[in-house]
Amino acid sequence: MKENPRLRAVQAVRRELATLGIDPFGIQIDEILSPTVGLIQGRRTILAGTNNYLGLTFDPDCIAAARDALERAGTGTTGSRMANGSYAAHRELELDLARFYGKRDAIVFSTGYQANLGMISALAGPGDTVLIDADSHASIYDGCSLSGANTIRFRHNDPDDLSRRMGRLGSGAAGALVVVEGVYSMLGDRAPLREFVEVKNAFGATLLVDEAHSMGVLGEKGRGLGAELGVLGDIDYVVGTFSKSLGNTGGFCVGDSDEMDVLRYASRPYVFTASLPPATIAATRMALRKLAAADDLRRRIRENAERLHAGLTALGFRLGAPANAVVAVLAGEKVEALRFWHYLLEQGVYVNVMVPPATPGNESLLRCSVSAAHTPEQIDAICATFAGWPGARG
């Protein structure tokens, strides 16, 4: 069959990885033994690259809720909510989320990716302007593409740069949509949300914040960075995911707008995707209750993050941001980073490797995500394994 020219670049990367004998993007966990341990290539491996921040994937109450829903309501919904009907639990989860954030209403999407895609493309269209942080997740970039709006990128975590770019829009700034994240997935760095809120208020714009990596981890009751900084009320739309702290899959948006119920019908990713299955909804509702009460888990994830951050710093590694649930080791050149990642895996530690252009600053990263379920001994074992690699020190 003729080679598809559009796949040449990806094919070249796959061939390069095959030459190195390293395949970080096709890793298979043969058996998942706990939130922090899996069997990979026949080895018991500490999982430090899963985003399972609160370790709720094996929570007995969440499993029981899922099992009960599975038996009562079946395996799947077999259609989209608009075309084929919502189950009562879909709406109940939306009301749970709205109450949790103290917002007027919520919309549940089938993935976190689709939540950004769905919200951005429903809020903005051709002729509108969306301003996004340069280090935004692919779902934000793709949401902008789907919207057809004029998309302007401002320098990462730089409210002054946002302000300058909004100033260039003149009267158009008032109708613009600004999109940032609470915590950035690559480096684990936090956004200056207070300052971003000041800019959006000054121009009368709309602010959407993706709290995927901060929900459950930061703020009172785990309501994210906006809550921690006291600006949740000034954020027009909070987008989040069920696939990190809530230990499941799915996404959502909460907001105070009177148009929340109209937005869902204007959102093609909402309208044309099958809705989440009953077991997922039930387990997520249970996990949300647990998350709100999980101050002990938040303390543990903070302690684990600080332990890992301090341990890796003491070993001489350069880290991407202050201690947070995401701890990123700056790993320099791509091939060296891939070899470093492979070494860690062979020693029984699974982390994520990220290479340019997916990384900020044109440098490769080894990205660890810390869980409240990690024991101090596992964190020390991760550090000891990193210590065995001779390179990548500052």
Partner 1 sequence: MTHQDVVAQLAKLLEPHAEGRVTHITADTGLTGELALDSLKVMDLITDVEDHYDISVPLNSLADIRTVGDLASLIQKHVGNDA
Q: Which residues bind partner 1 (CB under 8 A)?
A: 129, 134, 144-145, 148-155, 164-165, 168-169, 356-357, 362
How far CA 80 is from CA of 39, 85, 151, 237, 294, in Å, comes to 36, 7, 29, 23, 33
Q: Which run of H or E residues covers position 339?
A: helix 334-346
Q: How many CB atoms lie within 10 A of CB 298?
A: 22
Q: How far is the CB of 132 from partner 1 (least distance, A)?
A: 9
CB 347 within 8 A of CB 340: no
Q: Check if 2 is active-site.
A: no
Q: How far is the CB of 158 from partner 1 (least distance, A)?
A: 10
Q: How far is the CB of 388 from partner 1 (least distance, A)?
A: 32
Please compute, for residue 196, the number of CA atoms within 13 A of its CA located in the half-sphere on the CB side: 31
Comparison of 332 and 356: residue with beta carbon closer to partner 1: 356
Q: Which of 103, 137, 200, 213 is catalytic?
A: 213
Q: How far is the CB of 127 from partner 1 (least distance, A)?
A: 11
Q: Check if 244 is active-site.
A: yes
Which residues pair with residue 105 across a beta bridge?
255
How far CA 277 is from CA of 61, 91, 117, 312, in Å, comes to 18, 13, 20, 41
Which tokens hold the place of 1? Answer: 């069959």
Comparison of 42 and 126: residue with beta carbon closer to partner 1: 126
Nearest CA among 151, 242, 162 for reference residue 197: 162
Nearest CA among 146, 151, 84, 92 for reference residue 115: 146
Q: How far is the CB of 153 from partner 1 (least distance, A)?
A: 6
Comparison of 178 and 294: residue with beta carbon closer to partner 1: 178
Q: Which of 163, 185, 245, 267 is catalytic?
A: 185
Which one-letter amino acid corresponds to residue 197?
Answer: V
Q: Check if 103 is active-site.
A: no
Comparison of 348 and 356: residue with beta carbon closer to partner 1: 356
Bond into 357 cis (ω within 30): yes
Comparison of 86 and 150: residue with beta carbon closer to partner 1: 150
CB 247 within 8 A of CB 86: no
Question: Which amino acids are annotated catalytic?
Answer: 185, 213, 244
